[in-house]
Amino acid sequence: MTTSSDPRSSSSSTAPATGSVHDLLLTVRGELDYASSPELLDQAAEALHHRGESTDMAVDCQELTFIDSVGLSALLEIHRDAAAVGVAVHVTGVGPRLEKILRTTGTYTHLTGHDPTEPTD
């Protein structure tokens, strides 16, 4: 993921989630696909490496504009890698497109921590 003015580009950032129930925050902007997934994975690995006592990570997808199967695979890989070091991951800011993909693939509950039949706030 790179930061640029190109509307097809993606960026992500990591930060402590101040005032949140999540200790770590990974924000995804733009597209999450074959080209951008490696940067997200690198940033997630960096955040996990420097997590300190954090046991929870939110992956905020509110500004996600596109995701393909490689992007979904990246989210699943982040979830798996975080679980291996005792960090729970929750995908937040799930828009209609991402929700459809997560429901279709049966990964909605796994990645969001919510039952897909219950409305989210």
CATH topology of domain 24-112: Transcription Regulator spoIIAA (3.30.750)
Task: List CB contacts of 43: < 8 A, sequence separation 6 or more.
Answer: 1, 12, 13, 14, 26
Report the distance separating Cα 96 and Cα 42, nearest Å: 26
Average pLDDT over residues 25-53: 96
What's the pLDDT score for residue 84? Answer: 97
What's the pLDDT score for residue 63? Answer: 97
Residue 3 has pLDDT above 80, yes or no: no
Q: What pTM did the predictor assign?
A: 0.80
**Tokens coding 33:** 């696909």
Banded pLDDT at 13 (limits 50, 70, 90): low
Distances (CA, A) of 97 to 14, 43, 62, 83, 112: 23, 24, 11, 26, 14
Domain residue ranges of the chain, discontinuous segments joined by +: 24-112
What's the pLDDT score for residue 5? Answer: 27
Q: Is 98 exposed, middle or buried (0-12, 13-18, 19+ CB in 10 A)?
A: buried
